[in-house]
Amino acid sequence: MKWLIDGYNVILSDAKLGMLFRNDGEAGRAELIFEINNSGRYSSDDVAVVFDGRFGSSVSREGRRLTVRFTPHGETADDFIKGEIGSSTRRRSLFVVSNDHSIVGYARECGANAVSSADFLARLRNKTPGRRFAEDPKSEKPESSGAPDPELLKLFTGKKR
């Protein structure tokens, strides 16, 4: 799977990351990257975190599976992300993380998967244990812990357990 993450959108949608960013932009960006690197949830995926270059003085950098990209002057992160979606040949395995309606709409129109910033951070921080995004969301199956998943029970029976 490949992930395209709208970096500032994710940071500014979260209280902790947003506070860090407002105090020190580099600290907010570094914390998001730290959380992604240390979560272990995306270690086998290609992850690209994209930031508008005009707001940061950092240099783009690449790791083994994680790329941090600052767009050049004149190009927004939105433009870059849409370009990556448009040029992708494996859109069904592409996950785009943003709350930006134009990015989410474009991703869906192209057949890519759109994930909200809050959902991404919740899974990143293990607030939805045993769950992982599947390549095909229609076939996503939670890992079994032996007990029924309360969310699935609610969906299929209308009852809470």
Span 36-50, pLDDT tens digits = 988 877 778 899 999
The architecture (CATH level 2) of 2-128 comes to: 3-Layer(aba) Sandwich (3.40)
Whole-angstrom distance, CA of residue 155 vs CA of residue 149: 10
Span 133-150, pLDDT tens digits = 544 344 333 344 445 555
Span 77-116, pLDDT tens digits = 999 999 999 999 999 999 999 999 999 999 999 999 999 9
pLDDT at 60: 55
Domain with CATH 3.40.50 in the chain: 2-128
Give the CA distances from residue 82 to residues 54, 105, 113, in Å, rounded to whole numbers and listed in that order.
18, 10, 13
Strand, coil or helix: 59: coil
pTM of the model: 0.75
